Amino acid sequence: MRRLFLLVILLFGLNYLWNTYGKEVEIGAIAEDLNIQLDNFGLSELLDDLAGSIGFLEEKVEELAEEQLPSELEVPSPDLVSPTNQMFSIYNIELGESKADIENMLGAPKRSEMNEYGTEWHTYHENYHNFVKVMYNDQQQVIGLYTNQDLISSTNGIKLNSLKQTVRDTLGQPITRLQKGLVFYQLQEDSDYDMFELDDSYVTIFYDVHEENTVTAIQILTEEVENNKRSIYSEPSDALKEGFELQMFDLVNATRVNHGLQVLSWDEHVMQTARKHSSDMAVNNYFDHTNLQGESPFDRMEEDGIRYTLAGENLAYGQFSSIFAHEGLMNSLGHRKNIVKSGFEYLGVGVAFNEEAQPYYTQNYYAN
């Protein structure tokens, strides 16, 4: 215990110097600019050595802390059974089941928020373990399901981590276009997801291109709910904006749990920073980390009074929903790095829509 105390004291002193003279950022050009400025003061080499020392001591403190503290209790995984009425189920839930039965099994949802179909996603989880989103109709029957965790059952053996080629060999070729009203929207054929029409439903299977194109998530919707959506993008509203923001936040945390990381805390302050940048991009028709005034994400955060030692930003634009946006970000290495970075503590997500109802997403991450 005395060793741990001494290391903590030393780390505190070194961290004070680090916070005074340098901050780590996640965009390469900004980091290079900081290094150039530090070289002018002759501090770059000192900070490099200091950063290495801090990293080493942080690891030692974490190791000693683990010796002193009991490990977090693991949430048990459910016993999954093969579906009886459809080809797929999630968390042993199938389309058509009643909300009462679901909540008898899972309890009340942690969150309910507007989605692009004019209804709500109800989100159930245990500190983001056993994460499932459920959509109900007016009769309180399940009309939509989503998960990005090991909760997928099927009658044909497809599950989380199945190969993309296995999915296509089993289910056939995915659909290549989606009709909305009188318009047919062409779907990208070689994308990181496949959409199938199965059992009077639309099943979208997402793949992780960095894990050998294996199944990483699934969304199941009744044909009725998908066909009732008359445009590829939904009518913007404050409720939909807030829904997309919170859905994205939950998706990030469920993914972090999958990677053995701590969940992030929602930060209303940095959410406002993110929302302003999304609005600026949507109104002025650009897509960039640097705004039209030449300000970086870190400039914007500091202008809003957010103090950080570590910060990062992800942007997305034009996806159908937060689910599609999140899965796309996970398939981009730079964005993925932010989502699964161990050092972050807080996240705020800001959404805005342009004149064509296309959503812009800004994720701002940071740690004190």
Encode pLDDT of 162-184 as tens digits.
999 999 999 999 999 998 888 88
Q: What would the mean pLDDT of 131-153 be, rounded to a whole number?
A: 98
Nearest Cα to Cα of residue 274 among 235, 254, 246, 253: 246
- What pLDDT does 296 receive? 98
pLDDT, one tens digit per residue, over 315-334 is 999 999 999 999 999 999 99
SS3 144: strand
CA distance 271 to 83: 40
Lowest mean pLDDT among 18-32, 199-213, 307-321: 18-32
> What does the pLDDT average to over 60-71?
38
At 74, the pLDDT band (50, 70, 90 cuts) reads low
> d(Cα 229, Cα 269) in Å, to the nearest integer?
33
pLDDT above 60 (res 60): no
Tell me the pTM.
0.81
The H or E element spanning position 310 is: strand 310-317
Supply the pLDDT for residue 52. 43
Average pLDDT, the chain: 85
Cα separation, 261 vs 257, whole angstroms: 5
- Answer with the residue of higher pLDDT: 129 or 15: 129
How many whole angstroms from its chain centre is CA 353? 19
Which residues is 89 bridged to in the sheet? 153
**85: pLDDT strictly greater than 60:** yes
Q: Which of 32-46, 62-76, 259-273 has the lowest mean pLDDT?
A: 32-46
- Cβ–Cβ < 8 Å for 183, 161: no
Could you report the per-residue pLDDT of 259-276, keeping only the tens digit for each? 999 999 999 999 999 999
The confidence score (pLDDT) of residue 44 equals 39
One-letter amino acid of 305: G
